[in-house]
Amino acid sequence: MVTKDKLVSVLFCSINAEQAAKTTRYLLDRAKYPERVEVIINFDVEDYEYHTLKDMFKEFDNVKIIHTPKGYGYCDGHRFLTESFDVSCGEFIMNFNDQVEEITGNWDNLIAQYSGKLLFLTINEICDVDGTRQKWHELFDFPLVHRKWIEITGRVSYTMAPASDLYPIVKYFPEIVRPSGIELIHFPGHTASTETDGMCFLIENEDYPWNKKVLHDGVPIYHYEALQKIDIPRVKRFLELNPEYKV
């Protein structure tokens, strides 16, 4: 387990280093105390040489570069997030996007008020689609969670889509969900460019685990059922034994 020494670790993948650097600069500029924020970016080895990336991000003291094979692209999102989490040291983990137009000023202060509490924090999101800004929902499109959740459950998410994986928490465990107060505007993520055109369930390779059900007590169950039957009970037990993590 990594000992936390930052308030928040922001994790995202990118196929555009220039855009990723621009987003990183903006994100840190909008933070009240950028020194308590770290940004971890996953790039494909097929797209960039590591020394090129290091040179492009040399202005930042608090950026870590993860450099791994493309694999199944979008459909390997779970792997990318896990690789990033493994080197993170933030108390809160924030899944992000490399094309953010705007974010609430002093956004880190809005997270800091919940330091020490095991929570999911929601973000109020507006997505720029085809040049038009559309208000989405204040849920988990950008999951923001205390790292204790990940340490207890053993995973960032079940599949390449943490937003979909974690959405049932609103229904099944609402007492640990709070609005962060953060608002942001972003562009949609990159179009999936895999052999399955992003339809990850079509991947037949037996070594690819992210489109499979979870085995529980000898029975295969869906991810939302695993949240109900495995993850949430574990976290509830932890909170019973460690009430200082409750709000």
More confident residue, 80 or 199: 80
Query: What average pLDDT does the segment 92-115 reach?
Result: 93
User: Which of 53-57, 98-102, 116-120, 175-179 bottoms out in mean pLDDT, i.e. has the lowest?
Assistant: 98-102
Q: Is the pLDDT of residue 157 over 90?
A: no
CA distances to 7, 25, 130, 155, 196 from 82, in Å? 19, 24, 31, 7, 22
User: Which of 42-46, 208-212, 222-226 bottoms out in mean pLDDT, i.e. has the lowest?
Assistant: 208-212
Share of the chain above pLDDT 70, in %: 87
Helix (H) or strand (E) segment spanning residue 182: strand 177-186
User: Which of 41-45, 128-132, 202-206, 212-216 bottoms out in mean pLDDT, i.e. has the lowest?
Assistant: 128-132
Give per-residue pLDDT as tens, 140-154. Answer: 567 899 999 999 999
More confident residue, 92 or 155: 92
pLDDT of residue 191: 43
Residue 192 confidence class, pLDDT cut points 50, 70, 90: very low
Domains and CATH numbers, the chain: 6-245 (3.90.550.10)
Q: Is the pLDDT of residue 70 over 70?
A: yes
Q: Is the pLDDT of residue 164 over 80?
A: no
Query: What average pLDDT does the segment 69-73 reach?
Result: 87
Residue 2 confidence class, pLDDT cut points 50, 70, 90: very low
Q: Which positions ≥6 away from 119 have C-beta within 8 Å?
A: 145, 146, 176, 177, 178, 247
Residue 18 confidence class, pLDDT cut points 50, 70, 90: very high
Q: What is the mean pLDDT of the chain?
A: 86
pLDDT of residue 170: 85
* C-beta separation of 144 from 90 below 8 A: no
Query: How far is 119 from 19, CA to CA, in rounded Å?
Result: 30
pLDDT of residue 128: 60
Query: How far is 158 from 228, CA to CA, in rounded Å?
Result: 13
Hunting for tokens 């020194």 — which residue is that? 35
